[in-house]
Amino acid sequence: MLKRRCTISLDAAAKKELKIKIRDLNTAFDAFGDATLIIGETKQNLKSSIQKLAEADIVIWGCGGFAGNTHQLFRNPEKKSLVIKVSEFDESSISTIKQMKNAKSIGNHS
């Protein structure tokens, strides 16, 4: 059986604080029009997570590899996309994201 490598337990207060922090941090992505933050996979959000990851222009993933691997498996091979691991995120990553946004490829799924 596979064991999750990145698990943490939070009490109700910590979960509420995390939810507020996520909402606040998500405003940084408002300029992209159609950005979604996915933290963890649950029975309730698995299908939605897979669909969003398959359609994503940019995937920034942290631990375990679900997001990056799911995107690589289901993405449209004819569509340019970017997959970045959080630990490798740097100024070059930001520059590439800005270039993609300026080329109007972000949020344009036509």
Do 22 and 39 meet the contact criterion of CB atoms below 8 Å apart? yes
pLDDT of 33-74, one tens digit each? 777 777 777 788 889 889 999 999 889 888 778 888 999 999
* Weakest mean pLDDT among 15-19, 23-27, 41-45, 85-89: 23-27
Domain ranges of the chain: 43-110
Do 43 and 29 meet the contact criterion of CB atoms below 8 Å apart? no
